[in-house]
Amino acid sequence: MNYSVVDKKFKEMEVLFSGWHNSIDIIDNKKSIFKRVLKIFNNKKKIDAIFEFICFLEKEGIEKFKTNLVLNGIEYVINLSFFGPATSRHFLKNLEISIAKPDRYLERISYKFGFDNTNSFCEYLSDGIDEDIRVIDLVFWRYANLNRDYIYQLDKYLAKTNYALSIN
């Protein structure tokens, strides 16, 4: 789904979920909220997953969740319902944890330039230019999202600057 579509839908949903501030109110009004959210985002399974996560956080408690996240990292999140490798990393990025999300764009870019995964690609660049991994991830994702021929363009640019030779 296109970023601008997701952003618009998320902002509309955020209003229905009262800014995500009152989990008890959200849980108590699930049926009403669910029906209204379904009109914005017609995917029952994903909406159920949102409610399931809100219930999980309410039961677990934020402090216990944070502790488990620190102790177990990505493995803790991946084991939650509806959290796969990409969603887990995206979630952690939103929590300001320095990690790259293995989406299709970054996977292709990483493999093209000889890296085994997106995180190693972004870590390498992060070390080289002293920038947060999340920023590297975002810049390459945005560039690829805006340019259909992103692999060709990056290859052309990097070959021109001899940068591609220095990372392989």
One-character DSSP codes across 122-136: HHHHHHHHT--HHHH
Please say whether the beta carbons of 69 and 76 come within 8 A: yes
State the pLDDT at residue 132: 94
Which percentage of the chain shows pLDDT scores above 70? Answer: 92
pLDDT in tens, 42-64: 889 889 988 999 999 999 998 89
pLDDT(74) > 90: no
Element of type H or E holding 25? helix 23-28
Amino acid, single-letter form, for residue 37 = V
pLDDT in tens, 132-142: 999 999 999 99
| pTM exceeds 0.75 | no
Please say whether the beta carbons of 158 and 140 come within 8 A: no
pLDDT(161) > 70: no
State the pLDDT at residue 166: 56
Mean of the per-residue pLDDT values of the chain: 86
pLDDT in tens, 13-32: 999 998 888 999 999 999 99
State the pLDDT at residue 163: 55
The number of CA neighbours under 13 Å toward the Cβ of 158 is 15
* Alpha-carbon gap, residue 4 to 1, rounded angstroms: 9
Q: What is the mean pLDDT of residues 5-16?
A: 85
Compute CA distances 142 → 83, 90, 125, 156, whole Å: 23, 14, 16, 18
pLDDT band at residue 165 under the 50/70/90 scheme: very low
Q: What is the mean pLDDT of residues 102-106?
A: 89
